[in-house]
Chains A and B, each alone.
Chain A
Amino acid sequence: MSPREAFALRDYLSPELKGRSISDARQSVSLTNILEQTCLVGRFGQLSARSVLLAVSDQLISAIAMTEIDGVARRMLLCPPDLNADHVQALIEDVEIDAVVTDQPARWADSDVYLIVAARPPVRAGAKAKTARATEWLMLTSGTSGVPKIVGHTLEALTGAIVADGPARGAPPVWATFYDIRRYGGLQIFLRAILSGGSMVLTQPAEALADHVARLQAGGVTHISGTPSHWRKLLMSGAASGFAPRYVRLSGEIADQAVLDGLRRAFPAASIGHAYASTEAGVGFAVNDGLEGFPADILGQNSDGVEMKVEDGSLRIRSRRTAHAYVGRSAAVLTDSDGFVDTGDMVELRGDRYHFVGRRGGIINIGGLKVHPEEIEAVINRRAEVRMSRARSRRSPITGSIVVADVILADDVDASRSGAIRDEILADCRAQLAPHKVPAMIKFVPSLDITAAGKLARHDA
């Protein structure tokens, strides 16, 4: 590609837009003058045309490093903070990494990688990096076991949905997300902040939720995104009072009616939207009518060039926002022969809306009958006394598996009512689900694990 055609992150960072910043709990950096700053001590030139592993623990430094590396390196692999160290060598070999940008250079002293570049808090740069090529952006899938898959994107694909949405109305937004920006969902928000001319407030590892929310308020956050699990956790914490964003976005998991209604009550003045996106399929669509699922008529080709269909029960997406390939020595094929990505997300048509019912790989088999844990959780979560739930399989000598549910009750529920609530939940499940999908047991638990990617942990899935 000739340099003339390439457009990089830095090209969205105009010094004419004043008052922009990116911050975490420790520092705030002006985005207005960001191009005069460097985290790489001016060594970006050495990264020219290299395959770069961005392995920086700090999100803020990672963000600035991304703006320096994009358009310079041949490819850039973003390492999320929870990446299993055992997988790093395989990833390095898979994408022929020849440079590592890290805040812990000593750790890489013995590695075979040609170039180790230390990333440090930003300082004033001498020379400025120039956009020379379209860097390939590599991201990792958030699967729970094995070496993660490497997914290849271009900046154009990553920003397709943002460009299509057009600029936000009114004052430039201040974006925040509960995701890490090295994950697809978080990177989307970082890119939205950059492209919109706005600002961004990052998460800080190990920060208490109440402190995080106080920082979101102090930073004037107007637009914020997270998974339904992130949002349930916030609603449960009671920390949301006083926080009044203009736009609340959910993605990454099924947004059921209960969490949408909970957010509507907590943020009465906000627009609430749930977006469908995945690392592989990119951003598919956003639903802003406050209802779970999506209107059936958005299947087919829409005006943004996103085409969707349902085949064998799963949602398939073809668009210029999808990843272009899985990358690596034994990489699987990402799209079918027609260019559709099979998302593996199973949908069911009810009336004129499709509803997400779960992941293809997450099915529990009960004596030959199949159930998605998510469809059980959606029924349980509808009860006002319930904050969050997880359905899972439990081994059975009779049927192979049975389904059981772990439930977190809302804070204001009297514990002495738990027996009655259990009966009510079971009655709801019997009324709305096939007999084999009704949990055999309901257990009340104080908490449920959330993965580093912000999703409800499903150990048995």
Chain B
Amino acid sequence: MSIRLKIISEMQRIAGEQQVTLPPLDDDLSLHETGFDSLGFAILVARLEDDLGIDPFTISEDATFPLTVGDFIRAYENVPA
């Protein structure tokens, strides 16, 4: 499964657990509009770290948190293996 698909499916899973109704996850959708709160993102980042072995937001000191779904996915895709 690609990184993108893993991220999308984990977001759908957490949305189900948190009873959040996700809008279509287009790259331009702002993370704020996903309906996830900070706890939802914290859970997502932790689970992805276990699944993918990376946490792009801790690796780099100057990492800024992404604003859109596309930025978020690219943060994972751009981490050197």
Contacts and interface: CB of A to CB of B under 8 A. Distances in A.
Contacts of B63: 397
A399 interface: yes
A441 B46 contact: yes
Contact of B43 (A395, A397, A402, A430): A402
Contacts of A441: 43, 46-47, 50
Contacts of B58: 395, 397
A367 interface: yes
A367 B50 CA distance: 21
A399 B39 CA distance: 7
B46 A367 contact: no
Given A396-B46, A398-B65, A440-B46, A367 B39 contact: yes
Contacts of B17: 426, 430
Contacts of A366: 39, 42
B78 interface: no
B7 interface: no
B76 interface: no
A436 interface: yes
A366 B40 CA distance: 12
A396 B58 CA distance: 8
B15 to A, nearest CB: 14
A436 B39 contact: yes
B50 A402 contact: no
Nearest to B57: A397
Q: How large is the interface on A (under 10, 10 to 19, 20 to 34, 35 or more residues)?
A: 10 to 19
Contacts of B41: 398
B39 to A, nearest CB: 6
Interface string A402-426: 1010000000000000000000001
B2 interface: no
Interface in A122-170: none
A396 B50 contact: no
Contacts of B42: 366-367, 396, 398-399, 402, 440
Interface string A354-372: 0000000000001100000
Interface in B22-75: 38-39, 41-43, 45-47, 50, 55, 57-58, 63, 65
A402 B39 contact: yes
A398 B55 contact: no
Interface in A241-283: none
A394 interface: yes
Nearest to B47: A441
Given A399-B38, A399-B42, A440 B47 contact: yes
Given A367-B38, A398-B65, A399-B38, A440 B55 contact: no
A58 B65 CA distance: 57
Contact of A404 (B39, B45, B46, B65): B46
Nearest to A399: B42
Contacts of B43: 402, 440-441
A435 interface: yes
A393 to B, nearest CB: 11
A397 B38 contact: no
A442 to B, nearest CB: 11
A402 B38 contact: no
B46 A435 contact: no
Nearest to A404: B46
A366 B42 CA distance: 10
A111 to B, nearest CB: 48
B54 to A, nearest CB: 12
B20 to A, nearest CB: 11
Contacts of B45: 396-398
A421 to B, nearest CB: 15
Shortest beta-carbon contacts, A-B, top 6? A397-B57, A440-B43, A398-B42, A396-B42, A399-B42, A402-B42
12 contacts: A395-B58, A396-B42, A396-B45, A397-B63, A397-B65, A398-B38, A398-B45, A398-B57, A402-B43, A426-B17, A440-B39, A441-B43
Given A398-B42, A440-B43, 5 more contacts: A367-B38, A394-B46, A397-B57, A435-B18, A436-B39
